[in-house]
Structure 1
Amino acid sequence: MRSLPTAVTGLPAEVRRISFRFSGNGHYATCLAAYGRDRLMPELWDLTGPTPRPRLSPTRDGETSWTLPLPTGDGDVLLCRHGRGSARLLLVVPAPDGTAAEEHELLTPRNRGLRLVAGIAPGTAALLFESGEEGRTTVWRVSGRAERPEPIAELTGVVGGGAWLDEDGRRLALARPEPGAGPTLVLDLATGVAAPLEGSADGEHLLMAAPRTGVMLTAARRDGTFRLGVRHRDDPAPTVFPERLNRVEGTVTPLTLDPGGRHLALSAVRRSRSHLVLHDLVADTTVETELGTLQPTARWTDGGLHLLHSAPDRPLGVVTLPDPLRPGAGLRAAAEEHPGRWVPARTVDYQGPAGPIEAVVYGDPATSEHVVLALHGGPEAAWHFGFEPLFQRMAAAGMAVVAPNQRGSTGYGAAHRDAIHDAWGGPDLADILHLGRTLADARGPGRHRPMLYGISYGAYLALLAAAAEPDRWARAAVVAPFLSGRKLYQDGPPSVRTLLDRLGGRVELDDALGPRDLARLAGRMRLPIMIVHGLQDSIIPVAHSRRLQAGLLAAGHPVEPVYLEIAGADHDPLASGDGHLVAGRLIDFLSEGAGPRTAGSSIRRGASLPA
Structure 2
Amino acid sequence: MSPHPSAPVPPTLFDDEREPRWRSRFTTARMSRPGWARDAPARSVYVSNATGTVEIHAWDRDSGEHRQVTDRRNGTTSAVLPPDGGHVWWFADTDGDEFGRWVAQPWSSGAGADTVPAVPGAGDGYPAGLEIGRRITAIGVSTDDGTVLSVHERGSGTDAREIYRHTEDAGVGALSEDETLLAISHSEHGDSRHPSLRVLDVATGDTVAELHDGPGRGLAALEFSPVAGDQRLLVGHERRGRDELLVWDPTTGEVTELAIDLPGELVGGFVPDASALLVAHTHAARTRLFRHVLASGELTELPTAPGCVGSAEVRDDGTVEYSASSAATPSQIRALRPDGTDEVLVAPPGERPPGSVAVRDVWTEVPAGQVHSLVAEAPRADGRPAPAVFVLHGGPHAADEDRFDAGRATWVEAGFTVVEVNYRGSTGYGSAWRDAIEGRPGLTELTDVAAVQDALVADGTVDPARCAVDGWSWGGYLSLLAAGTQPQRWAAAVAGVPVADYVAAYTDEMEQLRAFDRALFGGSPDELPDLYREASPLTYVDEVRVPVLVLAGENDPRCPIRQIDNYLDALAARGDVTYEVSRFDAGHGSLVVADQMDLIATEVDFVRRALG
Q: TM-score scaled by structure 2?
A: 0.73
2:373 to 359, 363, 368: 359
Contact 2:247 2:255 in 1 (8 A): yes
| Structure 2 unaligned blocks of 5 or more | 1-22, 166-170, 189-195, 213-220
1:207 aligns with 2:223: yes
Deviations 1:166-206 (A, max 9, x none): 5xxxx45323444579953455xxxxx45769xx5433868
Which residue of structure 2 aligns with residue 531 of structure 1?
Answer: 550
Moved more, 151-160 or 304-313: 151-160
Quote how far apart the aligned CAs of 1:241 are.
0.6
1:282 aligns with 2:300: no
What is the 5 A alignment of 1:36-185?
Answer: 38-45=52-59, 55-57=66-68, 59-61=70-72, 64-65=75-76, 68-70=79-81, 73=84, 77-83=88-94, 87=101, 89-93=103-107, 101=111, 103-107=113-117, 109=120, 111-112=123-124, 117-119=131-133, 127=137, 129=139, 137=150, 139-141=152-154, 150-151=157-158, 154=161, 156-157=163-164, 160-165=172-177, 171=179, 173-178=181-186, 184-185=199-200
Of structures 1 and 2, the one with the larger relative CO (CA 8 A, separation 6+) is 2
Secondary structure in 2 matching 1:301: coil
Distance (whole Å) between structure 2 residues aligned to residue 414 and residue 537 of structure 1: 29
2:273 to 239, 250, 260: 260
Which residue of structure 2 aligns with residue 219 of structure 1?
Answer: 235
Contact 1:92 1:101 in 2 (8 A): no
Contact 1:535 1:542 in 2 (8 A): yes
Secondary structure in 1 matching 2:113: strand
Distance (whole Å) between structure 1 residues aligned to residue 74 and residue 34 of structure 2: 14
Distance (whole Å) between structure 1 residues aligned to residue 238 and residue 498 of structure 2: 38
Q: What letter is aligned with 1:302?
A: D
Quote how far apart the aligned CAs of 1:276 are.
1.7
Deviations 1:239-273 (A, max 9, x none): 2515424x65433222x212211011122222311
Percent identical residues? 19
Secondary structure in 2 matching 1:544: helix
Over 3 Å counting, the alpha-carbon distance change for 1:451 and 1:103 in structure 2 is: same
Contact 1:361 1:403 in 2 (8 A): yes
1:562 aligns with 2:580: yes
Distance (whole Å) between structure 2 residues aligned to residue 220 and residue 413 of structure 1: 13
Over 3 Å counting, the alpha-carbon distance change for 1:283 and 1:449 in structure 2 is: same
Which residue of structure 2 aligns with residue 608 of structure 1?
Answer: none
The aligned length equals 544
Which residue of structure 2 aligns with residue 606 of structure 1?
Answer: none
1:553 to 568, 572, 584: 572
| Structure 1 unaligned blocks of 5 or more | 1-9, 143-148, 188-192, 599-611
Secondary structure in 2 matching 1:241: strand
2:450 to 433, 436, 441: 433
1:595 aligns with 2:609: yes
Quote how far apart the aligned CAs of 1:385 are.
2.1
Contact 1:522 1:548 in 2 (8 A): yes
Which residue of structure 2 aligns with residue 348 of structure 1?
Answer: 361
Distance (whole Å) between structure 1 residues aligned to residue 457 and residue 354 of structure 2: 30
Contact 1:343 1:362 in 2 (8 A): no
What is the 5 A alignment of 1:152-551?
Answer: 154=161, 156-157=163-164, 160-165=172-177, 171=179, 173-178=181-186, 184-185=199-200, 187=202, 193=203, 201-203=209-211, 207-211=223-227, 214=230, 216-219=232-235, 228-230=245-247, 239-245=254-260, 248-254=262-268, 256-288=269-301, 292-295=307-310, 298-313=313-328, 318-323=333-338, 330=342, 332-335=344-347, 341-354=354-367, 356-364=370-378, 366=380, 370-439=387-456, 442=460, 449-483=466-500, 488-489=505-506, 492-504=509-521, 515-551=534-570
Secondary structure in 2 matching 1:595: helix
Q: What letter is aligned with 2:227?
A: P
Over 3 Å counting, the alpha-carbon distance change for 1:150 and 1:11 in structure 2 is: farther
Quote how far apart the aligned CAs of 1:342 are.
2.4
Moved more, 12-21 or 514-523: 12-21
Secondary structure in 2 matching 1:341: coil
Distance (whole Å) between structure 2 residues aligned to residue 314 and residue 529 of structure 1: 32
Q: What letter is aligned with 1:282?
A: A
Distance (whole Å) between structure 1 residues aligned to residue 557 and residue 601 of structure 2: 25
Q: What letter is aligned with 2:484?
A: A
Contact 1:523 1:557 in 2 (8 A): no
Over 3 Å counting, the alpha-carbon distance change for 1:186 and 1:437 in structure 2 is: same
Q: TM-score scaled by structure 1?
A: 0.73
Distance (whole Å) between structure 1 residues aligned to residue 444 and residue 141 of structure 2: 43
Over 3 Å counting, the alpha-carbon distance change for 1:160 and 1:470 in structure 2 is: closer
Distance (whole Å) between structure 1 residues aligned to residue 347 and residue 534 of structure 2: 53
Quote how far apart the aligned CAs of 1:411 are.
1.9
Quote how far apart the aligned CAs of 1:443 are.
5.8
Moved more, 393-402 or 129-138: 129-138
Quote how far apart the aligned CAs of 1:399 are.
3.4
What root-mean-square deviation, in Å, do the aligned CA atoms of Structure 1 and Structure 2 show? 4.5
